[in-house]
Structure 1
């Protein structure tokens, strides 16, 4: 939101009908936000569990509300404070979350008639058995916001105690200002408060990038080739379901940010590598990239300890027609290494991390994390890096990657590892990446893009094993 909210258009009959249908989506969104707040855990788990009975359209609307409130929480609370005589800290969680959801609709979703948004939001309090006086209290605030919204400051204009409202916890802002400076850290925060660009990685084993771009264009879907990845496509204006895109059923693409695509490229050519390990496979974005690039004689082992993620990994690989050369091992990396497997020619370790580089995609991260998390994550990351390195063949390359911007998880881990393991050295990322991506590489040769409108924040280091003779 970069300007004052536009006035809503008069509702059509179709819009009024859709508003009625969306009432359950509003209630679901509020329940998701309450669950996440109570458990202080990733919002995706609550979202996947609580939206199973919603239609695809209502599920999309619920996601818009949940992610929108998480991206603009401090600003929404700032607005509510202007109209409430009751302190926010003393409000019951359901009351505050309902008000946040209602104000978000009024100030950010101009396709929803304000009166309908207020009415449907208050209905969620009624359906939840909240007392009539509380319904009236919330109704009064939302109607006052409606009347005065054109005079309200935008998120860019709003300030508290002389500081801009950035919708991030103070400790995180302080940390980034120390690392990147005041202006850059504020730019990152404001970028995190916007919806991310949809980026795809083309599966060239199914069709070339140009052919997929043509298929999108023929359906009036704007498609732009990525600047740095030769497999990437941006869809700047697409707001529909990914599963509705042409080529999805055939496995023609995988949703993946351009920074993540470039991280896999740091392994170099895979055509001469027979055994490749993805030691922290997750849902398989990078696993499928490896499977796409490996020669027909190559073998990929994907290690993933969680049963649900391992099942989704298999589903993704099967849809992409890339499961033939990939073996999924449901195990921790430590347990897998204990089986003494044959060595690997290339290893990718996309380790669990704080995720501060992808807050735009996962807005709850900013509220779930605390400073002590980083030290705990660092211990696990060093352990995974040490275990992974023990499985690499001489001359092979190991890529250590995170979606974090925190030095403890990134360059400090690499420095500690190299100090303890002198037979490893950094391979300058510029020798592996396209020239356009050299701007993301630091003086040490480490890949460190910060968030931009087209790229997530990321970190990756290519490490080569050269044992002493």
Structure 2
């Protein structure tokens, strides 16, 4: 297929936002295709991603500014027009390294490359120039008041967490996340990887909660270009996901373990490091693309011989197993409201009934896993959701039909530094902060001989 050699970072960002608008699909799926079909440099690709994600994080405030100066009401604008204005305003108000004149001119030039009509070029040009001219007089105090989330979602969080915590979650979700790495301690040490980055002039610091985490706060390039990536010295993984893997312990020399929703293999790779050499590890994943990437990640980290991949559903996997397992991790599909900072489109894609839509799937996964568990075995249920319908309510409903399973306090299996992430019920339930994503995990043990 011929590449799009006419795209710029801004035209790609505008096209991506316009195409995504109203689709309900992950914006990353559009970004991936458009970037793949372009001949943009790595720098321009990064700019395109930054513009798209920046708009989604600041959409409410951007729209407030546009509505003050545009001669057309926002609801009457076509998605492409509104996307172009948001891209332009984002640069003027939030990207200090881009001069206002360049922000205006390059946004209009992007529309011209997209062969948009002259009247649209004039409208966008005039609106952006007015916004640039009035920047000093437009109150920035309102920026702090915009929560950048749908009202129904903030009302929900206000009810569940209180006013102060709701606003803190919204504040965190406005901020571009720092890059968090999980050191592959089967190939290097925390100290050695830190030294490697320092020698390359890359600033890093240790994570607050997970012992093998490393934060790279200023990195804006492709992760694949970081020193040590090709050699499998680390994986990209938030501290919450790193800690969730510890909950499957204590790990036994001849233990049998399953990552029941393996995805791209981040937790599988972590478990390959945590489990002893004599233990067995199975990774279950039905999706073709994810299985391919799962295999690539295991190979890159030198863990291909530590985990067997089952290409299929957990139910199909269960039908093939003659023996029971000592530990099963179910990282269930969910709404993802705990990772909005990293995936800012989630807040605009979700609807109120989404939080119960996956309950049957989540419970079915737990039912299947429970049947595979050996006496004394550990079952960990995890999501990246903040919503009780996907977390506590699922666990409570599951336990009413599985009386042989008992909740175990997650605090007993986490590092001391992570003690504050465990709630009064013993659930691992950190809310989003600048250091960790929102997450939930319950640890259950099968009672019996």
TM-score (norm 1): 0.92
- Write out per-residue CA displacement over residues 410-453 of structure 1, whole angstroms, 9 at most, x where no aligned residue: 11111111111110001111111112211111122111100111
User: 1:69 is matched with which residue: 50, 55, 72?
Assistant: 55
- Write out per-residue CA displacement over residues 202-231 of structure 1, whole angstroms, 9 at most, x where no aligned residue: 001111111111111112211111222111
Q: How many angstroms apart in 1 are the aligned matches of 2:360 and 2:254?
A: 30
Aligned counterparts, 1:361-400, within 5 A: 361-400=342-381
Q: How many angstroms apart in 1 are the aligned matches of 2:22 and 2:166?
A: 29
* 2:35–2:45 CA contact under 8 A, matched in 1: yes
Q: Tell me the residue number matched to 2:442.
A: 461
Q: How many angstroms apart in 2 are the aligned matches of 1:238 and 1:341?
A: 47
User: 2:329 is matched with which residue: 338, 348, 360?
Assistant: 348
* 1:271–1:293 CA contact under 8 A, matched in 2: no
Q: Tell me the residue number matched to 2:383.
A: 402
1:145 matched to 2:126? The reply is no
1:80 matched to 2:66? The reply is yes
Aligned counterparts, 1:15-414, within 5 A: 24-52=8-36, 53=38, 54-154=40-140, 157-158=142-143, 164-414=145-395
Instruction: Provide the secondary structure at the position in 2 that maps to 1:454.
Output: coil
Moved more, 36-45 or 184-193: 36-45
Quote how far apart the aligned CAs of 1:341 are.
Answer: 4.5
Instruction: Provide the secondary structure at the position in 1 that maps to 2:358.
Output: helix
Unaligned runs of 5+ in 2: none
Unaligned runs of 5+ in 1: 1-20
- Write out per-residue CA displacement over residues 280-313 of structure 1, whole angstroms, 9 at most, x where no aligned residue: 0111111100011111222211111111111111
Moved more, 398-407 or 333-342: 333-342
* 1:217–1:223 CA contact under 8 A, matched in 2: yes
Q: How many angstroms apart in 2 are the aligned matches of 1:228 and 1:186?
A: 23
Runs of 4+ residues deviating >3 angstroms: none
Q: How many angstroms apart in 1 are the aligned matches of 2:208 and 2:312?
A: 37
Q: How many angstroms apart in 1 are the aligned matches of 2:356 and 2:254?
A: 35
- Write out per-residue CA displacement over residues 166-198 of structure 1, whole angstroms, 9 at most, x where no aligned residue: 110111101100011111101101110111121
Root-mean-square deviation (CA, aligned residues, Å) is 1.6
* 2:208–2:435 CA contact under 8 A, matched in 1: no
Q: How many angstroms apart in 1 are the aligned matches of 2:13 and 2:390?
A: 33
Moved more, 85-94 or 215-224: 215-224
- Write out per-residue CA displacement over residues 374-404 of structure 1, whole angstroms, 9 at most, x where no aligned residue: 1111221111111111111111101100000
Q: How many angstroms apart in 1 are the aligned matches of 2:73 and 2:301?
A: 52
Q: How many angstroms apart in 2 are the aligned matches of 1:246 and 1:324?
A: 24
